Structure 1
Amino acid sequence: MSDQTDPLAWTRDYTPILRSLADEYGEEQPLSGYSVALASHLEQKTGVLIETLRDAGAEVLVTGSEPYSTKGEVVDALRDQDGVETFVEAGMTEEEWADGQHRLLEAEPDFILDDGCELIAKVHADHPDVARQVIGGGEQTTAGITRLEAMEDEDVLEFPVYGVNDTPMKHFFDNVHGTGESSLSNVMITTNTMLSGKTVVVGGYGYCGRGIARKARGMGAQTIVTEVDPRKALEAHMDGHRIASMAEAASEADYVITSTGNRDVVREDHFDELQDGVILANAGHFDVEIAVAALEDAADRVTEPRDGVTRYHMADGRRINLLAEGRLVNLTGPHSSGHPAEVMDTTFAMMFEAARDMLAEGRGEKLAPGLYAMPDRLDRAVANRKLETLDVDVDDLTDRQREYYEEWEHPDSAF
């Protein structure tokens, strides 16, 4: 297949970590004999991860973590590959998408790499016999970690899961830089508007929210952050953003971008406060952060002035513009391409390592069911691979420095 006909060719050029993993494990195939279920946004970067898992010997069972971000050309390219079985198509309804996930789970995967806890929640709720046979899992999103924490609190998890989202190589880079850049770029491409000099309200100051807020301010926007956690609000304040309630901030907003992992961040209480022409977008996993149904009920009529923009005409003449129907703006809009490949390279490398560590290294069989931090040694290994691809060297600790860390009395200290 030539680069002109291969939809993954360009992305492979910008995912050197995944390619290095495929090269290293392509001969020994440590995942041979295992089936790995993967739920993620079915676009080019995910396609390269699937190829990497397949090259390492896994049988890969593929579905989308969200029905509207699937790229048909990627599914077509994967469908013809040995060792890959797809349970998703572009243009699926939500019912068809959910049915595909259930059919995947009925294939009894050994391991689940998840996004939003889609498959892990479903296998426990609807396929408990399958759940008891799963060796382990990995979760790459904040929303998914929240669901897993709730499952662990209720003591219902049947297998160990690595919280890939909470590793430094994920949240410091993917969440901050990937979400920040891709969300803002897709807002601007969809609207053909300018952020500089505008007021951008960011709902939530987790790793994703801080990336959006910092990058928006770097582009010349005035930034306001809304939060429910006083510590995160203080962090945003110390980073130079204004802090306000959504009720207060809504009246000043030119843009409102939500990224909280929770629902009804922009809701009926706020609609009367929004100014004419405001642009609303959601950068959270689920399409619940903006109360779209309530907005539609409050509007006199609805139009589509631009591809990817739904305009709600209010009775008083104000126009409220919603991007991507309130779904993930960086992945489900008509011009969306998701995170840059370079940052997804690190995240997907962590997902690959979660599967390899639990399956090939046998740790999934040794761990009790529950949510676990990703081992630091794996996070550091991926960081080192990334530095190698950048041809960057870092210092090593000397023996004396290592001893200093390990000796709590510090006998040589000047104190």
Structure 2
Amino acid sequence: MSQETDPLTWARDYCPILRSFQAEYGDDEPLAGHTVAVATHLEAKSGILIETLHEAGADVLFAPSEPQSTHGDVVDALDAIDGVTAFAWEGMSDEEFDAQQHELLENEPDFILDDGCELISKAHADHSDVAVDVIGGGEQTTAGITRVEAMEEEGVLQFPVYTVNDTPMKHFFDNVHGTGESALTNIAITSNTIISGKDVVVAGYGYCGRGIARKARGMGAQTIVTEVDPRKALEAHMDGHRVMSMTEAAAVGDLFITTTGNRDVIRKEHFEAMTNGVQLANAGHFDVEIDVDALESLASDTSTPKEGVTRYHMPDGRDINLLADGRLVNLTGPYSQGHPAEVIDTTHSMMFVAAYDLIVENRDLTPGAYAIPDRLDREVAERKLETLDVTIDEMIESQREYATDWRHEGSSF
């Protein structure tokens, strides 16, 4: 007789770093007595992070960071754990999503692990009595860090926040490989069309953009990059991609993927220049990169030729196809499951050590945005190598001395 399937089983198999923290801290429970709020995409890999925080002794409150990426079976499994409380359900509306985040904050968490600065910004804007007592936070996205830094610049940030997204173990792996693979995989699955041979336009050449562009080219695409930063544009050029403005790219692209973290990247004048049958997808956190309102205003009609695809019929006979309603294509499409578990394991491990460090080890930081300490990044990297059974060299004494001797005495120079 087959056993009932735990929706977290498969993800657990591919999250060995988080499981190592569960094994290490499950008995001592160093987070006991603390309530940790988590806002993230509520699918199986996020469930392992929540499970790990709870194993370390924390009470956990969790809500989605995007209303359409929630998996109901995962929410139900987590909510059934004593000491873990859900503020989410599958299929919630934007209004319900917003209300549940506020309800979570009314339960007065003393630490916040965030995605897109959803809870941190709401705590400051609408729950100042809660924010003043929060020990600290961690933020795992580029868009979220932009908001945290803006709050710091305005002098309103009430507690220290580790900018987890900017650590090497996040942006070199999650952003490049996680976003790169999951975005293209879910575009291909949703559209059931080939990427090889297409002119693929990637808007933005940060870590996410370069991952998508690199992997699209590896799949045989003709890659085009658009940028507003001259240095990133030069980097894309030197990496072998064609670089042009979105106005130029709009007329030649077959598939457009936005990764900028900003709004109105593809807008009215670009839709007007696009060829028949183009596909549009967003891989940025918020659904503002493609101006969907402008697209709707231009269209004479819409249809749904395939689940997850909205087709906008232009008066001149052209069709423009929008995937996942312009929301995160790797998480909100009909078949989307987010990043590969092996990559999210490193990211969520960085979030776990951020919480552990600020709650247990580093309680004296003043409010502000802080780079996560290098020692924590290295710890997670070392654990990852152990799970892969990969060994590396250690510097010998003469190498350590040489690396710290600015005179380089005894050299041939």
TM-score tier by shorter-chain length is over 0.9
Q: What CA distance in whole angstroms lies between the structure 1 residues aligned with 2:74 and 2:286? A: 22
4+ residue segments displaced more than 6 Å: none
* Secondary structure of 1:288 counterpart: coil
TM-superposed deviation, 1:404: 1.0
- Give matches, 1:129-140, under 5 Å: 129-140=129-140
Are 1:389 and 2:387 matched, yes or no? yes
Select the residue among 390, 397, 400 that pairs with 2:398: 400
TM-superposed deviation, 1:5: 1.9
Residue 114 (structure 1) aligns with: 114
Q: What CA distance in whole angstroms lies between the structure 2 residues aligned with 1:93 and 1:258? A: 24
Structure 1, gaps ≥5 residues long: none
Contact 1:257 1:281 in 2 (8 A): yes
Are 1:414 and 2:383 matched, yes or no? no
Residue 69 (structure 1) aligns with: 69
Q: Deviations over 1:41-88 (max 9, x none)?
A: 000000011000000000001000011100000001011101201111
Q: Deviations over 1:303-362 (max 9, x none)?
A: 00000000000000000000000000000000100000000000000000000000011x
TM-superposed deviation, 1:412: 1.7
Aligned amino acid, residue 144 of structure 2: G
Residue 373 (structure 1) aligns with: 371
Residue 357 (structure 1) aligns with: 357
Q: What CA distance in whole angstroms lies between the structure 2 residues aligned with 1:325 and 1:114? A: 23
- Give matches, 1:241-252, under 5 Å: 241-252=241-252
Contact 1:17 1:346 in 2 (8 A): yes
Contact 1:17 1:386 in 2 (8 A): yes
* Secondary structure of 2:273 counterpart: coil
Aligned amino acid, residue 364 of structure 2: K
* Secondary structure of 1:161 counterpart: strand
Residue 55 (structure 2) aligns with: 55
Q: What CA distance in whole angstroms lies between the structure 1 residues aligned with 2:96 and 2:265? A: 28
Are 1:316 and 2:316 matched, yes or no? yes
Q: Deviations over 1:211-262 (max 9, x none)?
A: 0000000000000000000000000000000000001001111100000000
Residue 293 (structure 1) aligns with: 293
Q: What CA distance in whole angstroms lies between the structure 2 residues aligned with 1:201 and 1:51? A: 38
TM-superposed deviation, 1:406: 1.3
Contact 1:3 1:9 in 2 (8 A): no
Residue 127 (structure 2) aligns with: 127
Q: Deviations over 1:378-411 (max 9, x none)?
A: 0000000000000000001111111111111111
Q: Deviations over 1:97-129 (max 9, x none)?
A: 111111111111110000000000000000011
* Secondary structure of 2:196 counterpart: coil
Structure 2, gaps ≥5 residues long: none
* Secondary structure of 2:60 counterpart: strand
Identical columns (%)? 69
CA RMSD of aligned residues (A): 0.8
* Secondary structure of 2:69 counterpart: coil
Q: Aligned residues, how many? A: 412
TM-superposed deviation, 1:3: 6.3
- Give matches, 1:268-287, under 5 Å: 268-287=268-287
Q: What CA distance in whole angstroms lies between the structure 2 residues aligned with 1:331 and 1:173? A: 18
Contact 1:22 1:55 in 2 (8 A): yes
TM-score, normalising length from structure 1?
Answer: 0.98
* Secondary structure of 1:252 counterpart: coil
Residue 29 (structure 2) aligns with: 29
TM-score, normalising length from structure 2?
Answer: 0.99
Q: What CA distance in whole angstroms lies between the structure 2 residues aligned with 1:47 and 1:190? A: 24
Aligned amino acid, residue 18 of structure 1: L
